[in-house]
Amino acid sequence: MRGLILGAAALCGLALQPALAQRCSTQAEQSAFEVQSLRSELMVLATGCGEDQRYNAFMRKFQPELQANEREMNAFFKKKYGRAGQSEHDRFITDLANLRSRAGTQLGTDFCPRNSQIFSEVLALRSPSELSDFAAGKDLVPAAVVDICRDQPRVQVAAAPSKPAPKTVKR
């Protein structure tokens, strides 16, 4: 899964951190998207790799921070979409999880061994205040997120490059 996400990022040719820094109007918004992406990654690992206990431990350990992050996400989507904010937020979260899940499916049996160590890392954080820095350092916000803090904060899978037309040989 992670390999496909990294492949999509390379395919798009985007450096993720600078893109977020330029598009998000506040550091809090940028951090909220990073923490949400981490949470989505862990949720997909939990369901796909039988890591429910460690996911639940993560949710318990960081509950206040995750709740604050959810409030930040809600505020962003409400400010951006008004009354439609909740449905747009829900759509974004679903699209993000689906993107991560599809990527994991494409990696197959290699997905869990490659990615489950992130639970050990996040659960080893000494303080809940370290969560946002940890999430930022993981680069989990997919490069396929188009205009994350501007017009369309929706997850979209980057299209595969089209094959060039076969060359014709003049005789």
The domains of the chain are located at: 2-155
> If you ran DSSP here, which 8-state letter would residue 84 be given?
G
User: Rounded to an integer, what distance in angstroms lies between the CA atom of residue 68 and that of residue 72?
Assistant: 6
User: Rounded to an integer, what distance in angstroms lies between the CA atom of residue 22 and that of residue 11?
Assistant: 20
Q: Which residue has the higher pLDDT, 146 or 39?
A: 39
Angle at which helices 63-81 and 52-61 cross, to 10°: 80
User: What is the reported pTM?
Assistant: 0.72
What single letter denotes the amino acid at residue 8?
A
Predicted confidence at residue 163, as pLDDT, reads: 42
105-114, 122-131, 138-147: segment of lowest average pLDDT: 138-147
Q: What is the mean pLDDT of residues 95-123?
A: 87
Predicted confidence at residue 101, as pLDDT, reads: 87
The H or E element containing residue 166 is none
Q: Is the pLDDT of residue 146 over 80?
A: no
User: Rounded to an integer, what distance in angstroms lies between the CA atom of residue 153 and that of residue 133?
Assistant: 22
User: Rounded to an integer, what distance in angstroms lies between the CA atom of residue 50 and that of residue 44?
Assistant: 10
Rounded to a whole number of angstroms, the distance between the first and last alpha carbons of the chain is 47
